[in-house]
Structure 1
Amino acid sequence: MKYSKEYTVKDEHIDVQGIMDGLYYPFYMEYCRHSFIDEVLGFNLETEAKNGVNMVLSEYTINFLRSLKKDDVITVTCELHRDKNNIPKLHFKQSIILNNKVVTKAVFSGTCVPATGGRPFIPETLKTIIENAPVLE
């Protein structure tokens, strides 16, 4: 299931070259990913943290293909994938799209951990959803 949201590039994210600073691309992806996690997966990060479960990133890879400029209206996508080795990880394939062209693509990987410390795990409430997700190759 592919999820998407629209955003407008903010002036304060533009560098001296007139393009969006590379630091902000992951932020737009995070905004979309957090909405996806809440709205589609039904996992509210704030509520879960109060209940002692933290969803954390373990790694990400990102590829920059084109630059964005102030006031560009972009679409950010997010799609859940499961781990091919059945490790307790969530993988989110994401893209930033401008005028039907991919500007940036990335994979963000994470897991859940007890707030008090302990081993990574996938909460029972997410297991069924993850089982139906495609495998990340």
Structure 2
Amino acid sequence: MDRVARLEDWYRRVYIDGDFDAVGTLFTDSTRAEGLMDGMQVGPEDIAVFAMALVHLVEKPRFRIVKAIESGDWLSALIECEAERPEDGTPLRVMGQLMARFDGESIAEAYNCFDFVSFFEQLGLLPAHTVAIGMSGQQIC
């Protein structure tokens, strides 16, 4: 299975099928991922908890890898994530990027950048236009 197919399979198993035990199947034991939470490097066990919390916020999660580029041991992917708000079925859409270095079949290091501000705005957990409010210098409450 090529790297893009492995990544797609992993996202399907973890985020769609809810198989949180599958998180470790794509990583080495010493893998550290950056970018999921500010200032933190997380390992497979943390990613499983993160994924579980995220999946419980939405219904009908789905994703697609929009673009992927491989160079040597590196894979870069642009990922579109969609779901629905549980209380009213409103569609949610978030974009993200992943850069990962593979060691054989496993990810040895990963760098993530997902638009969590937009995600939490769409869920109603942050005010609309949070980025614009912050850019104006106003405190976001």
TM-score bracket for this pair, using the shorter chain length: under 0.3
TM, length-normalised to structure 1? 0.28
Ranked by relative contact order (alpha carbons within 8 Å, sequence separation 6 or more), the top structure is 1
More helix by share: 2
